[in-house]
Structure 1
Amino acid sequence: MSATPLPNLVGRHHERAVLDDVLGGLRAGESAVCVIRGEAGIGKSVLLEYVAAQASGVTVARAQGIEADMELAWASLHQLCAPFLGAVDALPEPQRDALQVAFGMAAGDPPDRFLVGLAVLTLLTRASETRPVLVLVDDAHWLDQVSLQTLEFVARRLLAEAIAMIFTVRDPEGAGALVGLSELRVSGLDKQAAGDLLVTSVEGRMEPRVRDRLVAETHGNPLALLELSRGRTAAELAYGLDAADPTSVSTRVEQDYARRLEALPEATRTLLLVAAAEPVGDARLLLRAAELLGITPDAAPAKAAGLIEFGESVRFRHPLARSAAYRGADPERRREVHRALAEATDPVLEPDRRAWHAAQASDRPDEEVALGLEQAADRARQRGGIAAEAVLLERAASLTPDPWQRGRRALAAAEAHFSAAAPERATELAALAGLCPLGPLDRARLARLRARMLFGRSRSDEAAPLLLDAAAQFAAEGSPLARETYLEAISATVFAGRLHGSHGARAAAIAARASGAPPSGSEPADLLLDGVATLLADGDELGVPALVRSFEPFAHEELTSRDATMRWLLSVPVALESFIHHRWDLPAWDVLSARAVRLARDVGALSALPPALIYYGGVQIHYGDFAAANRMIEEADAIATATGQAPHRYASLVLAAWQGDEQAATGIFEDARISATEHGEVSLLGVTGYVQGVLYNGLGRYEEALAAARTGIDHDGYNFTGLSLVEHVEAAVHCGELGQAQESLARLARLTKAADTGWARGILARSQALLTEDDGETDQLYRTAIDELSLDRVTVEVARTHLIYGEWLRRTRRRADARDQLRTAHRMFDDMRSAAFAERARRELLATGEHVRTRGAEPEARLTPQEAQIATLAASGLTNPKIGAELFLSPHTVEWHLRKVYTKLDISSRRELAAALAAPGADGVQAPTSA
Structure 2
Amino acid sequence: MESLRLFGREAECAALDALLRQARAGRSSSLVLRGEAGVGKTALLRYAESTAPGALWISGVESEADFPYAALHRLLIPLLGDRGRLPAGQRAALEVACGLADGPTSDLFLVSLAALTLLADSPQLCVVDDAQWLDRESLRALAFVARRLHAEGVVLLFGLRADDDDEPGLLAGVEQRHIAGLAADPAVALLTDVVDTPVDRALAEHVARSTGGNPLAITDLGRELTAEQLTGSAPLPEPIPVGSRLEAHYTAQIRDYPEATRTWLLLAAASGGSGDQLTAAGRLLGAGPADAAPAEADRLVTGSPPATFRHPLVRSAVYGGATTAARRAVHRALAEVTTDGADADRRAWHLAAAADGPDEQVAAELERRADRAGARGGHTARATFLTRAVELTPDPAARDIRQVHAAEAAVAAGAFSRAVLLLDAVDEAALPGPSRGKALLTRAAAEINAGVPIGQQLGVARCLAAAEAFGDDRERALRAVVQAVEQAIGAEYVSTVSEAEIAAAAAPLAGEHPAGVDELILAGYTAFTLGRYEDGVPALRRAIAAIADPAVPDDILLSRLVVGVNFANLIWEDDTKKELLDRAEAAARRTGALYALDQVHYLGAMTEALLGRLLEADRHDAAGQRLRRALGMTADQELVWRHPELVTWRDEPGVKESVRAALGVFEMLNLGALQSVTQLSLATRDIAEGQYASARDTLLGLMKLGNPRRYAWGLPDLVEAALRSGDRRTAKLALADLDVAVRAAGSPRGRGLLDRSRALLAGHDEAEAHHRRAIDGLTGTLGYGDLARAHLLYGEWLRRQRRRRDAREQLGTALEMFEAVRAEAFAERTRKELRALGGTVLTPVRKPDETALTPQEAAVARLARDGGTNAEIAANLFLSANTVDYHLRKVYRKLGVRSRRQLRGSLHD
TM range (shorter): over 0.9
Paired residue for 1:503, among 497, 500, 520? Answer: 497
Partners of 1:213 and 1:378 in 2: CA distance: 55
Structure-1 residue corresponding to 2:603: 615
* 1:697–1:432 Cα change, 3 Å: closer
The count of aligned residue pairs is 898
Give the structure 2 partner of residue 829 of structure 1: 818
**Are 1:676 and 2:671 an aligned pair?**
no
CA distance in 2, matches of 1:472, 1:783: 54
1:638 aligns with 2:629: no
Change (3 A) 1:455 1:421: same
Identify the residue that residue 490 of structure 1 maps to in structure 2: 485
1:691 paired residue among 681, 687, 698: 681
Secondary structure of 1:166 counterpart: strand
Structure 1 SS opposite 2:779: helix
Structure-2 residue corresponding to 1:48: 45
CA distance in 2, matches of 1:625, 1:745: 25
- Which residue matches 1:20? 17
For 2:17 and 2:86, the matched residues in 1 are separated by 32
Query: Equivalent residue for 1:863?
Result: 853
The amino acid that maps onto 1:631 is R
Q: Specify the SS of the correspondent of 1:197.
A: helix
Q: TM-score, normalised by structure 2?
A: 0.93
For residue 534 of structure 1, what is the amino acid of its counterpart?
Answer: A
- For the residues of structure 2 that align with 1:648 and 1:678, how far apart are their CA atoms? 12
Pairing partner for 1:709 from 699, 703, 723:
699
State the 1:804 CA deviation: 1.7
- Work out whether residues 639 and 665 of structure 2, in 8 Å CA contact, stay in contact via their aligned partners in 1: no
Q: In structure 2, what is the Cα distance between the partners aligned to 1:718 and 1:249? A: 70
Asked whether the 8 Å contact 1:687–1:720 carries over to 2, the reply is no
Q: Give the distance between the partners of 1:417 and 1:605, measured in 2 at CA.
A: 18
By how many angstroms is 1:814 displaced?
4.4
Counterpart residue number, 1:593 = 581
Alpha-carbon deviation of 1:623?
Answer: 6.1
Give the C-alpha shift of residue 515 in structure 1: 6.0
Distance 1:223 1:831, change over 3 A: same
Contact 2:121 2:152 in 1 (8 A): no
Q: Which amino acid aligns with 1:643?
A: L
One of 803, 813, 822 as aligned partner of 2:792: 803
Partner of 1:929: none
Secondary structure of 1:608's aligned partner: helix
Partners of 1:516 and 1:888 in 2: how far apart? 39
Tell me the C-alpha RMSD between the 2 structures.
Answer: 2.9
Q: Is the 8 A contact 1:610 1:648 kept in 2?
A: no
Q: Residue 409 of structure 1 corresponds to which residue in structure 2?
A: 402
* Match of residue 285, structure 1, among 262, 277, 283: 277
Cα gap change, 1:79/1:650 in structure 2, threshold over 3 Å: closer, same or farther? closer
Residue 55 of structure 2 aligns to a residue whose secondary structure is: strand
2:767 to 753, 756, 778: 778
Which residue of the partner structure matches residue 583 of structure 1? 571
Matches within 5 A, 1:365-380: 365-380=358-373
Distance, in Å, in 2 between the alignment partners of 1:171 and 1:224 is: 17
Q: 1:774 to 1:27 in 2, by over 3 A?
A: closer
Shift of 1:244: 4.2
Deviations 1:751-780 (A, max 9, x none): 3332111122222222122112152x4333
Matched, 1:80 2:75: yes
Counterpart pick for 2:777 among 772, 785, 788: 788
Query: Is the CA contact 2:706–2:733 (under 8 Å) kept in the aligned structure 1?
Result: no
The 1:452/1:242 distance shift into structure 2, 3 A limit, reads farther
Cα 1:519–1:38, aligned 2, differ >3 Å: closer, same or farther? Answer: farther
Deviation at 1:879, TM superposition (A): 1.8
Find the aligned partners of 2:659 and 2:709 in 1 and give their Cα distance: 18
Which deviates the most, 760-769 or 193-202? 193-202
Whole-Å separation in 2 of the counterparts to 1:273 and 1:810: 89
Per the alignment, do residues 437 and 624 of structure 1 end up closer, same or farther by CA in structure 2, a change over 3 Å counting?
closer
SS at match of 1:460: helix
Partner residue in 2 for 1:569? 558
Tell me the amino acid that sits aligned with residue 62 of structure 1.
W
- Relative to structure 1, the CA distance from residue 189 to residue 839 in structure 2 (aligned partners, 3 Å threshold; closer, same or farther) is closer
% identity of equivalent residues: 38
Structure 1 segment 757-768 matched on structure 2, within 5 A: 757-768=747-758
- The CA deviation string for residues 142-180 of structure 1, in whole angstroms up to 9 with x for no partner, is 111111111111111111110001111112296433234
Secondary structure at the residue paired with 2:27?
Answer: coil
Secondary structure of the 1:480 match is: helix
Shift in alpha-carbon separation, 1:855–1:231, aligned structure 2, 3 A: closer
Q: Counterparts of 1:817 and 1:11 in 2: how far apart (Å)?
A: 76
The residue that corresponds to 1:264 in the other structure is 257
1:29 is aligned to 2:22: no
Give the 3 Å change call, closer, same or farther, for CA 437–332 of structure 1 in structure 2: farther
User: How far did residue 419 of structure 1 move?
Assistant: 3.0
Q: State the secondary structure of the residue aligned to 2:868.
A: coil
1:138 to 108, 129, 152: 129
Q: Distance in 2 between matches of 1:834 and 1:274?
A: 68
> Unpaired segments of 5 or more residues in structure 2?
none
Aligned counterparts of 1:717 and 1:228: Cα–Cα separation in 2:
80
1:300 aligns with 2:327: no
Residue 467 of structure 1, aligned match among 463, 476, 486: 463
- Contact 1:137-1:167 at 8 Å conserved across structures: yes
Stretch moving more, 720-729 or 784-793: 784-793
Q: 1:916 to 1:379 in 2, by over 3 A?
A: same
Letter in 2 for 1:610: D
The amino acid across from 1:245 in the alignment is P
* Residue 121 of structure 1, CA deviation: 0.8
Give the alignment's TM-score, normalised by structure 1: 0.91
For 1:349 and 1:517, how far apart are their aligned partners in 2?
49
Corresponding residue for residue 357 of structure 1 = 350
Judging changes above 3 Å, is the alpha-carbon distance between structure 1 residues 703 and 194 closer, same or farther for their aligned structure 2 residues?
same
CA shift at 1:624, angstroms?
A: 5.2
Picking from 320, 323, 327, the partner of 1:330 is: 323
Amino acid at match of 1:596: A
Q: Quick one: distance in 1 between partners of 2:366 and 2:699?
A: 57
Q: String of CA shifts for 1:726-774, please: whole Å, max 9, x gaps.
A: 1121122223321121122122223333211112222222212211215
Residues of 2 paired with 1:332 and 1:715: CA distance?
Answer: 74
CA distance in 2, matches of 1:466, 1:239: 73
**1:170-319 mapped onto 2 (5 Å cutoff):** 170-172=161-163, 175-177=167-169, 178-235=171-228, 243-245=237-239, 249-280=242-273, 282-298=274-290, 299-311=292-304, 313-319=306-312
CA deviations 1:43-101 (Å, max 9, x no partner) are 11111111111214xx3111211222211111111111111111001111111111111
The CA deviation at 1:831 is 2.5
> How far does residue 698 in structure 1 lie from its aligned partner after superposition?
2.6
Deviation per residue, 1:289-332 (Å, 9 max, x gap) = 22333433313333222121224743111101111111222222
Check if 1:737 corresponds to 2:709: no
Structure 2 distance, partners of 1:137, 1:723, is 53
Gaps of 5+ in 1: 924-931
Q: Which moved more, 1:401-410 or 1:807-816?
A: 807-816
Greater CA deviation, 209-218 or 871-880?
209-218
The one-letter code of the counterpart of 2:415 is A
2:414, 2:329 → 1: CA distance?
34
The SS at the match of 1:754 is helix
Alignment-derived partner of residue 151 in structure 1:
142
Aligned with residue 382 of structure 1, among 368, 375, 398: 375
- Partners of 2:416 and 2:270 lie apart in 1 by 28
Please say which of residues 215-224 and 76-85 is displaced more in the overlay: 215-224
Does the Cα contact within 8 Å between 2:543 and 2:564 map onto a contact in 1?
no
Report the CA distance shift for 1:591/1:516 in structure 2 as closer, same or farther (over 3 A): closer
| 2:513 pairs with 1:552 | no
Corresponding letter in the other structure for 1:824:
T
